[in-house]
Chain A
Amino acid sequence: MDLRVEGLSHRYDDLEVLRDINLEINAGEIVCVIGPSGCGKSTLLRLLGGLEQPSEGQVLQVGEPPEGSLNPLTYVFQDFALLPWRSVEGNVSLVLEGHKIPAAEKEARIADVLERTRLSDFRNAVPKQLSGGMKQRVAIARALSVNPAVLLMDEPLSALDSQTRELLMDDLIDLWERERFTSCYITHNLAEAVRLGHKVVVLSRRPGLIREVVEIDMPLKERTLSNPVVAGIQQQLWDMMRKEAQAADVELAG
């Protein structure tokens, strides 16, 4: 299933946040969105998944979601959004309980996603006992359990320390290599964008409009930290963003 964004604009009362966004998120690709703070990245993601209604334009689903998908558009949040009173298993089962699936299948889905995110040993732990990286893995397991067509991720790594981020980034790359999931990935970390994105969408400062879409057709596995091509693209993105970021910073401060 693809997502197509057509002429999307959004405003909060007098505040124009997004202007005329046109974008394709094709099956099997990760689209990274970067832009200065406050430019409307999170708003764009909420519009993509139907958590908010756009002032103008529309978001279209193209094609059918995969067989067995319980929630085609699924989020992974920056602050994890785990229920503190439920165990790891309970947090995953929360999103399966409302669907009419047999108990055995539910159990199988839980076991499967915990296995895939290497959490099987922590089934009965509660969020408080887990490190930040593990909490985000639980959130990713929960998202995978409903077999989403598109994963909508809003800065999923930015609440984590840099080493954990690096590890989880490797996990995400492995996961994509295995499953070729489709994703819209918001970040303001350029390094993340160039490591994960098949397309990197650069937004301008508010009102956010698409400044540039950079396609990177190098296999994810080859994009190591020391790869000069990757570094070059990152530099190129930063050159594009620098002025916007500076201007946005002054706007917010002033």
Chain B
Amino acid sequence: MADVTAGATPSPSETRPVRFRGGGFLPKPRRIIGFITFAVILLAWELGSRSGVIPALVLPAPSEAWAAFMDLVRSGNLQKHLSASLWRLFLGFTFGSILGLIVGTAIGLNSLARSALAPLVSAIFPIPKIALLPLFIIWFGIGEGSKVATILFGCFFPTVIATYGGIDSVDRALIRMGQSFGLSRVDIIRKIVLPAALPAILSGMRISASISIILLVAAEMIGAEYGIGAYVLLAGNLMSTDQLIAGVAMLSVFGLTVNYLITLAERRFLAWRN
């Protein structure tokens, strides 16, 4: 009996563990590595500038940009630039998103709205909104109106598209469930459709937030006294590249902050997904 089984098992030389081949394709964010990347680049840049490998005319050292930033802080202008920019961003982004949500929901739920507006949105979405700025200046004046309108327009379209795309992919079985329990139309939209579309809406907001920062700067470069865009433009005109880098870095921090806020919102509202 023992002989028979021994004969059936393969000889030891053929025995080996099964090779693991299921790994990879699951990138996990390691925050520390992100910081290290930044630090390494800044350090190399600083060292390059100090040693003369990077000529100061081509690219100022990070420390010079920092000094320019501190000058700005001391002059008291930082607050004026920042508050002007943030206020425009806030108005444009908030109203653009709200209008986008409303129109997107209408397109997502109503046949008439869909037939009438969806083609229009597709036609206007790809137009660079900055090309319309001269028109906006005529319509809304050279002051705040035209700048806010540019950002508002820029946010509006991606939000519309994300919202109705999200609504289209809501599980119809859930909607039918709502109807079968006699929920009102408003309740079905508020308690079933919009929460289910929220992941898509938030990723749309991520995109529209970046677009609004780009448009903010572009709009401020055309006739604004204060604002990060105006500061950067002035720095460029004077060839003071240290100020330019300082301004651009502030924009980057804007972007990171907005992204972080949206991530927080996702964590708060979409916790049920994981």
Contact = CB atoms under 8 A, between A and B. Distances in A.
Nearest to B191: A94
B195 A98 contact: no
28 contacts: A49-B180, A51-B179, A70-B182, A71-B181, A71-B182, A73-B180, A74-B180, A75-B177, A75-B180, A77-B177, A81-B173, A81-B174, A81-B177, A83-B174, A83-B195, A84-B273, A85-B195, A94-B181, A94-B183, A94-B191, A95-B181, A97-B191, A98-B182, A98-B183, A98-B184, A126-B272, A128-B272, A146-B181
A79 interface: yes
Interface in A103-139: 126, 128
Interface string A51-92: 100000000000000000011011101010101110000000
A33 to B, nearest CB: 18
A192 B266 CA distance: 43
Most buried by A among B177, B187, B195: B177
Complex A-B, nearest 3 residue pairs according to Cβ-Cβ distance, in ascending order: A81-B177, A85-B272, A95-B181
Contacts of B176: 51, 81
A51 B183 contact: no
Q: Is the interface of B mostly helix, strand, loop or mixed?
A: helix
Contacts of B180: 49, 51, 71, 73-75
A146 B183 CA distance: 12
Interface of B: 173-174, 176-177, 179-184, 187, 191-192, 195-196, 272-273
Nearest to A148: B181
A98 B181 CA distance: 10
Contacts of A95: 181, 183
B265 to A, nearest CB: 14
Contacts of A98: 182-184, 187
A98 B192 CA distance: 13
Nearest to A87: B272
Contacts of A74: 180-181
Contacts of A142: 181
Contacts of B177: 75, 77, 81
Contacts of A126: 272
A71 B187 CA distance: 16
Interface residues of A, number: 21
A103 B177 CA distance: 23
A51 B180 CA distance: 7
A73 B182 CA distance: 10
Contacts of A77: 173, 177
Interface string A135-172: 00000001000100000000000000000000000000
A204 B51 CA distance: 88
Contacts of B191: 83, 94, 97
A75 B176 CA distance: 10
A35 to B, nearest CB: 22
Nearest to B188: A98
A247 B179 CA distance: 35
A142 B183 CA distance: 13
Contacts of B272: 84-85, 126, 128
A200 B173 CA distance: 27
A97 B195 contact: no
B245 to A, nearest CB: 44
Most chain A CB neighbours (cut-off 10 Å) among B182, B187, B196, B273: B182
Contacts of B174: 81, 83
Contacts of A94: 181, 183, 191
Given A75-B177, A81-B176, A98-B187, 9 more contacts: A51-B179, A71-B180, A75-B180, A81-B173, A83-B192, A83-B195, A94-B191, A97-B191, A126-B272
Contacts of B179: 51
Q: Which of A79, A95, A146 has the most CB of B within 10 A?
A: A95
Nearest to A94: B191
A194 to B, nearest CB: 27
A77 B172 CA distance: 13
A44 B183 CA distance: 22
A89 B196 CA distance: 18
A79 B172 CA distance: 12
A83 B273 CA distance: 11
Contacts of A49: 180
Nearest to B271: A85
Scoring A49, A71, A77, A85 by chain B CB atoms within 10 A of each residue's CB, the highest score goes to A85
A193 to B, nearest CB: 23
A71 B174 CA distance: 17
Interface string A167-187: 000000000000000000000
A77 B273 CA distance: 22
A128 B173 CA distance: 17
Contacts of A128: 272
B182 A79 contact: no
